[in-house]
Every structure is written in C-alpha cells, then in structure tokens.
Amino acid sequence: MTAAPAELAPTPPPREAPLAYRLTRRVTEYARLMRLDRPVGTWLLLWPALWALWIAGAGRPRPKVLGIFVLGVVVMRAAGCVINDFLDRNIDAYVQRTRDRPLAARRVAPGEALTLFALLLLAALCLVSRLDLFTVELASIGALLTVSYPLLKRFFPMPQLYLGISFGGWSVPMAFAAQTGELPRVAWVLYIAAVIWTAMYDTLYAMVDREDDLKIGVKSSAVLFADMDKLLIGVMQAMTLGALYLVGRNMHYGRAYWGGLAAAGVLFLWQQWLIRRREPAACFRAFLNNQYVGLAVFVGILLEYVYAD
C-alpha cells in the first residue's frame, strides 16, 4: 500500500487560474489539513487544560498562562493533525471517512505538510518559551509523545489510550506546573481522568472506521474490544467519573461541581443510547457529544469558585 487509488486524485486547477484563486485554494487546503474547519477536536483537548488551570489557579488562572495554554492547544492540535495525516496519507485514502483529506487526496504535497508542521512546532515553542523551565521541560516530553502517537496504530492494539496519555491529558500536569510550579496529587488524578476520557471518546470515533480498519489492518480500541465495545466504553465512562469524583473530594467541592459531574453522567448515558446499534453515524454523534461533557465539568468547577467569592 504505497499510493492512493487513482480515482481519489482530483483534477488540479488550470495553470491560467488567477493567482488569488490559487492562493485561496492553498490556504483552504492548509486549514483543512490543520482541522481548523472542525473545532470540536480542539475543544476536546482544551477542556482538560481549562479544568486544570482553574483548579491550580483557585478559580483565577493568570491571564498570561491562560492565553498561552489556549493558543498552545490550538497550535499543537493543528500540528498533531498535520503529522498524523502525513504519516497516514497512504492509509487514509482507503478509509471512507478520511479519503478526502488533503494529503490522502493528493491536494497537498508531503513536503508542504512537513513545512507546515515545522512552522506549527516553532509557534508552539515560541509560546511555551514564555513560561518557566519546569513547564518547558514537561512540554518537551508532551511534544515527543504527540509526534510518536500516529506511529503506534501500526502495532499498538489500543492507540486511543496512548492518545490520552500524550495528547488528551498532558496539558493537565503542564497547567499545574505553569500555575503553581508543583504537581500535587490532584494534578495526577485529574490527568488520569483526562487520559481515560480521551481513550473513551476516541474509541467512539474509532467505531466509525472499524470496518475499514479491519480491512487494511489498522489497530484501534474499537477493533480490540470487538463485541465488548459498548460494555468497555461504559467502564471507561464510569472510571472517568470516578476519577473526577476523587478530584472533587480532594478539593472539597460542593453542589456546583457535583451538579457538573451529574450532567456529565447523563451525557454518558445518552452516548450509550446512541451507540446501542453500533451505527457509524450514531457513534460519531456520540463522539461529538463529549464536547458537552467537558463543558459540563468545567462549568461545575467554574461555579465552585464563583459561589466561593
């Protein structure tokens, strides 16, 4: 498998096309490569960072740190998407959901993607360099984990778990380090919650592609879990709520936080209902629904400090 099917390669615009048209087209393809047209993924990565920043900052994260983390999540998510599509460009062409991605459809050259990836990493480096050395060291580890993630689906049976370890949750210890200079126990419990939550919602995402993944030999938790997928997703949902419960106990939170967790629990039940028949479109809806889970938990944390004031 070294090339995309010929029918996937679109006809390039004519050479006499206006310069403005060609530039607009390139920018559009780069934006799609960075998934700027699909912000849900950014929100899913941003929520754990916001949870951690508000807890570490006792409801008042420093504006500079908050701004750097928000921009950093956007940039690193874009970089992760670019390097993922670069490494998967000859696989995505054979998957229904991904065959129209710019690299898979040969609308963006591999060299262009690598240049864009390097520029995004440089932007991330400029952002994190404005923080303390401890946070920079953690960010370096996170960058290595993120870059290595796309390679694991070739041999690791549950790359969704590694996504949580690397991409989905690593902003949590970074946020505590940037805000307080320490990594207390609650930081690691919150990290575990983010890791499990990420593995869970990315398993829902993997269920959309399971049939294609089985045909081409791509590893995923949806393939690994087989007909136990709904049960094990439920286990991960319960574990996420359990870890967040321990965070609340550790922080001595009250009704606002527990209300946020209750709302997240209801949303998890709704996701179970959606995936009951394992229909790809419904599984994708369940995946998207997790942006509201992150929001519910964040609102609970936010209100704890609003009411405390």
Dist. CA 127–CA 195, nearest whole Å: 24
Dist. CA 146–CA 150, nearest whole Å: 8
* Domains in the chain: boundaries: 26-308
Dist. CA 271–CA 184, nearest whole Å: 32
pTM of the predicted model as reported, rounded to 2 decimal places = 0.89
17: burial class by Cβ within 10 Å (0-12, 13-18, 19+)? Answer: exposed
Alpha helices per DSSP H over 217-279: 221-225, 229-251, 255-274
Count the Cβ atoms, other than its own, within 10 Å of residue 139: 23
pLDDT in tens, the chain (309 residues): 444 444 444 445 555 567 777 788 888 888 998 998 889 999 999 999 999 999 999 999 999 999 999 999 999 999 989 988 898 888 887 777 888 888 888 888 889 999 999 999 999 999 999 999 999 999 999 888 877 887 776 788 899 999 999 888 999 999 999 999 999 999 999 999 999 999 999 999 999 989 888 888 888 999 999 999 999 999 999 999 999 999 999 999 999 999 999 999 999 999 999 999 999 999 999 999 999 999 999 999 999 999 876
Dist. CA 34–CA 28, nearest whole Å: 10
- Second-level CATH architecture of 26-308: Orthogonal Bundle (1.10)
